[in-house]
Chains A and B, each alone.
Chain A
Amino acid sequence: MEELRKKARELLTSGAVKVIIGYGPGSGKRVRAVFVRKPEQADLLICDDRCLQNLAVYLTKPEVKALGKAAVVARLPTLRAILQLAAENQLTDGQVVALGISPEGKMTELSQFKAIEEFLAGFSFELSAEEKATLEKLDQMTPEQRWQFWQEQFAKCVRCYGCRASCPLCYCEKCLAECNQPQWIPAASHQIGNLDWHIIRAMHLANRCVNCGDCSRACPVGIPLHLLNQKLAEEVFKQFGARSGMKAAQEYALCNWKLEDRENFIK
């Protein structure tokens, strides 16, 4: 933590960056995102087990961009999000300094995409055993049971769009959900509208989701949305060998055709 604060002070003092996006004290025992703009505020920064939010979500916001060059405290999913945003032309190289935090809590300054790529290459993108078990459980359900499961989950949805707000890859200025000519997704929180919204969002995140889990954490009613994204990510990996957020320049499986692509999923 001290290392991080020192680096933050250094970066702000030298003027290398104008703002550090990190975690600071929130209400009660919680942490929240803080935007440190003065060296003396660097002591606000916290880095511990509570710091899970994917801070890359702020990098594409016009208000944050207006602050100037940013450094962001970045756990692995955040680093992947930065690369994925780069692949989608939302960030340019050198625009962001990532203060990479390894799972052991060690900090590394990564100022180029290449450095992030190399850093990430040292860690596997495998799902944890627990995550795998949960997916496995869902897979083993009959289609009817699975449908029932998700219907029950989606029934809870109040359409607050917290999942969208928390997601670093939901950067569209005008979301499809706000489009009303035609009205792709019924706006009211009812069965069809909720199903439409979550399925379309999951499809939009296929081969893009970096598995940070923020959608589920943000959800006030506890829908395990990350499972949809993990399932799709695994399918894309199985079919096309593609993982999102590993390179700053990478193909998008859904708009890319290769002769060797297997087509056994077309039935």
Chain B
Amino acid sequence: MARIGVFICHCGENIAGTVDVFKVAEAAGKFPGVVHSVEYKYMCSDPGQTMIKDAIKEKKLTGVVVAACSPRMHEPTFRRACAEAGLNPFLCEMANIREHCSWVHEKGEATTQKAIELIRIMVEKVKRNKPLYSIKVPVTKTALVLGGGIAGIQAALDIANAGHQVILVERSPSIGGHMLQLSETFPTLDCSQCILTPRMVEVAQHPKITLYTYSELESLDGFIGNFKARIRRKARGVDEKLCTGCGVCIQKCPQKKIPSEFDAGMGKRTAIYVPCPQSVPNQPVIDREHCTYYIKGKCKICEKFCERKAIRLDQQDEIIEVNVGAVVAATGFDILHSKDFPEYGYGKYPDVIDGLQFERLASASGPTLGAIKRPSDGKEPETVVFIACAGSRDDAKGIPYCSKICCMYTAKHAMLYKHKVHNGKAYVFYMDIRAGGKNYEEFVRRAIEEDGAVYLRGRVSRIYEEDGKLIVKGVDTLLGAQPVEIKADMVVLATAIVANQDAESLAQKLRVSYDPYHFLSEAHPKLRPVETNTAGIFLAGACQAPKDIPEAVAQASGAAAKVAGLFSSSELSREPVIAVVNRLPPPVFSTCTGCFLCEKACPYQAIEREEIKDRKGNVIKVVAKVNPGLCQGCGTCVALCRVKAIDLQGFTNEQVYCELMAL
């Protein structure tokens, strides 16, 4: 006979304000099977929990219903309290009379009645609850880090330094990401490559990090602790074991006019190339789209000159499979491109460039060796206009959000320009200056006050060419919306930060959610900023939202700490809310007919086939069996099973049916 205890929480005024909790407690006490029904101001408080524990012992309760908030909030609290009193935690259920009742209805008789009904159905469910036990699943203590930018590098190093294996996958030929392209970094103006390259080398040398560059994630299966990733290693055309990175092939390559991705199109590269001299690994790849051999079928000059015989022109893509326990997505960002700015002539006038291109011009390792020369004729520009918020905070461009880093890097650009071209004039058009961050505001003030950048608050409507000058037409809203016209030699657009083009397909591969702009979504904007809604997959860096370097690094370390926490034990404990295929005495063995439609329907590949054999080993029947490690308890198979041979533990057909019938 069931002995159910009902505990009704006032939640301060949250519930008691609209629901007559005393009446509810009285009514619940009369339900068949209920032997104890009380209300209390805060059930989740220590005294509240003690009431539950004491009642379990004194009244010998066989089930507990806590009528309070959403189970998302306090179910673990109450289940733990029950466990401490010796009751199986899965015999405790919550009736949500806050979110489902008091918060959404007016005070009144009907609201109280609804609370009573919600408890009634939960009492009927608990009567049919069975003790369940957590499922233990093993953890593969290897992390997969996707993206070799600063966030990925930091995450990989932190996880590896915590003593775990890391597989770092980078799409381009070298790790380093966008940070490697930058000249100097705000607010300290230290050389980006000087601070980044030691980290890159550390990654390359770390015994616990396996680095796969020029590789991409093909697919990811499995679940937290037990993922299976397939990685496509794109054909490099070069044997990495033999190549010493001497660079002869690069010198001899006849294709020399290919716009360099690393230099954001400001410089040129060869068909066999490394992105930059500090590349890690320092082994070239062959760009098959531009290589003469792949276009015309002959050339092979690189092969001829390679002393180590490391060129592999017939190499094919290779797919490798790895088992990992956690994944950190650190796939970074992209910037808005030229087609989106016809009014600024971006893409039409060579001297209208974006922020990344300016970084390459200002970088000592760039195509101009750090001299500010404009792309059209190589002359030093005397007047440069910087336009912040090019696309950002602009609904017309479909980007309502702030790209966050542009205010700072535009100040930096103006400053770098003034440091290199002392007589030059730097104008900055801005909407607002957002310089929240340690030493950030001081940095912007420095650009204005010490380096004399002219800041104009207003937007630019149009840029056109006239007599070899770029005419920038804007407005200065601080001078009564006065029109401003500047004859510039070069214009730098701080184009908006956007998600990578394939961010959506990556999110789908990882089964994580993403926002309308294709940035990957965190599990909770405040309290779970590095986790995703898919357990075991974490986020680092600008794939989640626009971020500067310190933030990306901090988030990467946060993600690494989460991974290290996950790897701290060899087993994971999971809720036993999983599907189970029934087993019965012979001659039926199971009502499962073995049609295996559940196998096809299961999104987690959790259905296996089990042969039921007699004593001689003859197969009597083949029936479905659920792999408890893979099952996520979604219930798709339960809905599909015509014989109802599958049931969901903790939410059995019988339980749900009785809940409904109780109404």
| Residues on A facing B (Cβ under 8 Å) | 88-90, 171-176, 179, 181-182, 184, 204, 251-252, 254-256
| Pairs A–B under 8 Å by Cβ, sample size 10 | A90-B594, A173-B588, A174-B588, A181-B654, A182-B653, A182-B654, A204-B642, A252-B600, A255-B598, A256-B600
A175 to B642, CA, bound (A): 8
* Cβ–Cβ < 8 Å partners of A252 in chain B: 597, 600-601
Q: Give the tally of cross-chain contacts (CB within 8 A).
A: 50
Pick the residue among A182, A204, A255 that contacts B657 (CB under 8 A).
A182
Say yes or no: B597 contacts A255, CB within 8 Å: yes
A89 to B593, CA, bound (A): 9
- Contact of A172 with B643 at beta-carbon distance under 8 Å, contacts A251-B600, A252-B597, A255-B597 already known: yes
* Cβ–Cβ < 8 Å partners of A182 in chain B: 653-654, 657-658, 661
Say yes or no: A88 contacts B657, CB within 8 Å: no
Say yes or no: B601 contacts A90, CB within 8 Å: no
Say yes or no: B600 contacts A176, CB within 8 Å: no
Q: Does B189 contact A (CB under 8 A)?
A: no
Say yes or no: B642 contacts A254, CB within 8 Å: no
A138 to B216, CA, bound (A): 55
- Contact of A179 with B644 at beta-carbon distance under 8 Å, contacts A88-B595, A173-B591, A255-B600 already known: yes
Nearest 6 CB-CB pairs, A to B? A255-B601, A182-B657, A88-B595, A174-B591, A172-B643, A204-B642
Say yes or no: B640 contacts A254, CB within 8 Å: yes
- Contact of A173 with B593 at beta-carbon distance under 8 Å, contacts A182-B653, A182-B654 already known: yes
Which size class do B's interface residues fall under?
20 to 34
Q: Does B349 contact A (CB under 8 A)?
A: no
Main SS of the interface on chain A? loop
A244 to B551, CA, bound (A): 56
Q: Does B604 contact A (CB under 8 A)?
A: no
Taking the closest CB of chain A, its distance from the CB of B610, in whole angstroms, is 13
A181 to B642, CA, bound (A): 15
Taking the closest CB of chain A, its distance from the CB of B579, in whole angstroms, is 14
Q: Does B305 contact A (CB under 8 A)?
A: no
* Cβ–Cβ < 8 Å partners of A175 in chain B: 643
Taking the closest CB of chain B, its distance from the CB of A81, in whole angstroms, is 14
Say yes or no: A176 contacts B595, CB within 8 Å: no
* Cβ–Cβ < 8 Å partners of B593 in chain A: 90, 171-173
- Contact of A89 with B600 at beta-carbon distance under 8 Å, contacts A172-B643, A204-B642 already known: no
Report the nearest A residue to B602, measured CB to CB.
Answer: A255
* Cβ–Cβ < 8 Å partners of B594 in chain A: 89-90
Which of B598, B600, B658 has the most chain A CB within a 10 Å cutoff? B600
A179 to B584, CA, bound (A): 14
Say yes or no: A184 contacts B640, CB within 8 Å: no
* Cβ–Cβ < 8 Å partners of B137 in chain A: none
Say yes or no: A89 contacts B595, CB within 8 Å: yes
Q: Does B399 contact A (CB under 8 A)?
A: no
Say yes or no: B643 contacts A174, CB within 8 Å: yes
Report the nearest B residue to A201, measured CB to CB.
Answer: B642
Q: Does B464 contact A (CB under 8 A)?
A: no
* Cβ–Cβ < 8 Å partners of B595 in chain A: 88-90
Say yes or no: A176 contacts B640, CB within 8 Å: no
A184 to B596, CA, bound (A): 22
Q: Which residues of B (158-176) have their CB < 8 Å from a CB of A?
A: none
